[in-house]
Amino acid sequence: MKKEFSLTIKILSFFFVAYSLTMGTTTYAYNTTQEDKAGKSTNQTLLRYTDTKKKYGKSCEAYSYITPVQRFKLLKQNTFMLGDILSDSLSIPQVDPEQVVESNLTACNTQNMHVSEFTYREKLEYLSDNIITIEVFQYAYGAGAAHGNGHISRYMYDRKYGMKLDWENLFGTSEAFDLYVLQRVVKEIADENFIGYFKVKDQLLNFRKSGYFAITDEGLIIQYGKYEITAGSSGLPSLTVPKEVLKQYMSRGMYAKCFLTNEQMIAEVLNDF
C-alpha cells in the first residue's frame, strides 16, 4: 500500500513540475525574459497597461519574478518533489486581451492619478549551499488615492527538496530567542503610543510568521508591514540579528546549514575528531 502511495505521489509530482516548468513561458502573452551580460536568464518580466472602460478601470501592472524553471534549478535533488518553492511560484492573473492597451512597457506612468498601479517583484536575496531566501516586494496604488502602499515579504527554502523553513525549523521551541527578538523590536522599531492606541500588541509577535523573517548574508532580518507596529510614516520597520548572536541561539547544525558551505561543514566535523 505504501509503495503504491509513493508511486502515486511521484507521478503527481512529475505532472506538477512539468506544468510548473511551462508557467511563465507559454501561459502568458507579453512576457519577456531579461538576460544578463553572460547570457544567463534572470527574472521573467511582464508589464501591461489595461483599460476596462469603466470608472477607475485603467491600470498598469509590472511583474518581475523567478520562473518555475529557475526555481527548480535551485534545488539540489533531481527527484520530483512537491516542494513549496514550486507551489509558491507566481501565477499572474489573466486579463481579457481586448482590455490590454499596451504591453512590454519600459515603466508604468506614475504621474497619472487616474491609473491604478500594481508592482510585484521577486529577488533571490540569499543563496547558500543549503538555503534559499526569496524576497517579494509588492506595491499597490488605487486610482485617486492619496498614496500607494508597499510591502516586503521574505521566504526561506531548504535546497534539498525546496520545502519552506518556518521559525521552529530554525530556532526550535525555546522561548529564549523569541524574548530576545521581542525585546529588540519593542526597544528599536515599535511605537509604544501607536500600539497602545490601536490595541495591536499581539502584532509584535508577527516576526515568527512566515514572510516576516529570513536568513541573509548579514544574519536574520525581521521585517514588519506598514501600520503593524508603528505609524505609516515610519515605512516598513525592520531589524537585523547578526550572525554572532544567532550562533548563541541556533543549533550548531542549523547554523552551519544556513551560513557555512558544505566544505566548511565537513571541516568542522573533522576538527571534532
Task: pLDDT tens for the chain, 273 residues: list them.
Answer: 545 544 554 545 545 555 544 444 333 334 554 444 434 447 899 999 999 999 889 999 999 999 998 999 999 876 666 789 999 999 899 999 999 999 878 888 767 778 999 999 999 999 999 999 999 999 999 987 888 999 999 999 999 989 999 999 999 998 999 999 999 999 999 999 999 999 999 999 999 999 999 999 999 999 999 999 999 989 999 999 999 999 999 999 999 999 999 888 888 767 776
What is the fold, at CATH topology level, of the domain defined by 166-273?
Actin; Chain A, domain 4 (3.90.640)
pTM of the model: 0.85
Judge contact between 167 and 213, C-beta under 8 A.
yes
Tell me which residue has cell 498614496. Answer: 147
Which residue in 86, 113, 99 sits closest to 13, CA to CA? 86
Q: Where in the chain is the domain with CATH 3.90.640.20?
A: 166-273
Judge contact between 198 and 232, C-beta under 8 A.
no
Which residue in 51, 180, 65 sits closest to 112, CA to CA? 51
Q: What does the pLDDT read at residue 272?
A: 72
What is the fold, at CATH topology level, of the domain defined by 1-165?
Heat Shock Protein 90 (3.30.565)
Q: Where in the chain is the domain with CATH 3.30.565?
A: 1-165
Alpha-carbon span 218 to 242, nearest angstrom: 6
SS3 145: coil
DSSP 148-190: -EEEEEEEEEETTT-PBP-HHHHHTT-SHHHHHHHHHHHHHT-
**Terminal CA-CA length for the chain:** 44
Alpha-carbon span 18 to 170, nearest angstrom: 31
Residue type, 178: D
Which of the 8 DSSP states describes residue 211? B
